[in-house]
Amino acid sequence: MIRKFLYKNFILLYKVSRAASYRFTESGFLTLSVLIAAAVFGLDTRQTHAYMLFSILFVLLLITLVIVNFKRLKIEAYRDLPEYCTTGIPLKYDIVISNKKNHVIKNLMIMDELTNTLPSFKEFSHYKDDSDRNLNVFDRMIGFPRMISLINKKRGANIRPEIIEELGNNATIKKSLTITPSRRGYLYFNQTVYAGCDPLGLMRKPKRFKNNQPLLVFPRQYRIPKISLHGNRKYQQGGIKLASCIGESGDFHSLRDYRSGDPKRKIHWRTYARKNKPVVKEFHDEYFSRTGLVLDTFIDKDSSLLFEDAVSVATSILLSHKQQDSLLDLMFINDKAYRTTSGRALGDERGLMELLACVDTMPLNQFQKLADLTQQYARETSAFIFILLDWDEQRKEMVRQLKLRSIPILVVVITDQLNSFNNDYDCMGDCKKNFWLLETGDIQNSLDAIT
């Protein structure tokens, strides 16, 4: 009951403070603060003259409120966003603002808003913030900083407002805004806010207009040491262009007559209809290397920082691999089993980055799906790189089964318990140097220490 009461008041406090931040300038906030203080200290008019200050400031703000509400602005804005950005790195983008009135506007505030879905009571109750350990006991018990952290996480980024000192009548200018994404995935721009200021510079009247646009945020990226997994080239029927799909594509080099035992999917139906006899497609066959990049998505929801670091490491390996003359298969489990290929002439790196930007965690009890996926494609995979969230028996067994096939393997384990980690590498055989242990929150230093 108390927690629900706190939740409702936190939401109310957030809405009020957000509305006030649009309405009042810094000078306006200072004036309002002095007004409240004067009201408190001026209750006894016989002991203090603070009530006089209260009266003056109250009338001043009242007049300002009337003036600012009579101002009529008509603004149009166009946002020029790039296709994507990276978590944690500030991005500057341009917004073109046009004044559609025949008068000059001074001290115009302009800001973009993202879709701001407030958390439900259930989300607030179950949310655990990694920074809670740095808070005092009172803040941890009450939970308001945790509520603000959850709201910011759901929104996904902060956008700093900008002030245009003067916008001429019927003028158009370009202004740069800065957005700093705090998480990966899609951000959804919802509306643009502009607000004119009163002559005293105390209050604004915000106006909003719909200006929807998505922005894809890629995971953080790290410098990755050189990875050398000398796997054998494997036979791939159909050549390079078939490496990115399951089964065979329509790429072939010739036709021949149908032979008993040929699968029906190889029949070239257009020629069959023209000649009235079955003919089949013959494919180019090729040997080349392909590396499986396996991302472990199976973890407790409370270990979000661990998973985010794993996704960032997988992204960094993907980007560092693009210079190599081999294919890279990104493999993971979410709503289904994913296996997407990039490399050489395939050019699907952007698609893989989008998958990594939007990947989510899975329940621990479904881990066998990942082991089955690696076994399914082990025959055509030259080497595996595993990004794991733990080093328990089921993960060791998955690696052990692939080692029995003599496939080169690199294991990267992300952990938040480096000092108490179980250093059991027996399943790696003689390749213990291909076992990387990275500490969450200190990933780059852990990678730099690898020789």
Q: HSE, CB side, 13 Å, CA atoms: give it for residue 413.
A: 20
Q: Supply the pTM of this predicted model.
A: 0.79
Cα–Cα distance list, 367 to 42, 296, 302, 371, 393 (Å): 67, 9, 17, 7, 11
385, two tokens: 């790189």
Residue 24 DSSP symbol: B
Cβ atoms 189, 165 nearer than 8 A: no
Residue 188 confidence (pLDDT): 94
Q: Which residue has the tokens 């409240």?
A: 36
Residues 6+ apart with CB under 8 A from 192: 77, 79, 95, 110, 111, 112, 113, 208, 209, 211
List per-block mean pLDDT (blocks of 10 residues) for the chain, which spans 451 residues: 84 89 88 87 73 87 86 85 92 91 86 88 80 71 83 88 87 91 93 87 87 93 86 51 43 71 77 82 66 92 82 93 76 93 69 92 92 92 93 91 90 84 64 84 90 69
Residue 317 confidence (pLDDT): 93
Three-class DSSP category at 329? strand
Spatial distance between the Cα atoms of 431 and 3, rounded to a whole number of angstroms: 52
Cβ atoms 90, 180 nearer than 8 A: yes
Which structural domains are found in the chain, ordered by start?
Answer: 2-20+73-218 (2.60.40.10), 234-286 (no CATH), 290-448 (3.40.50.410)
Residue 107 confidence (pLDDT): 86
Residue 243 confidence (pLDDT): 43
Residue 245 confidence (pLDDT): 42
Residue 334 confidence (pLDDT): 93
- Torsion angle, CA of 53/55/61/66, rounded to 10 degrees? -160
Cβ atoms 381, 234 nearer than 8 A: yes
Query: Which residues share a beta bridge with 76?
Result: 98
Residue 45 confidence (pLDDT): 67
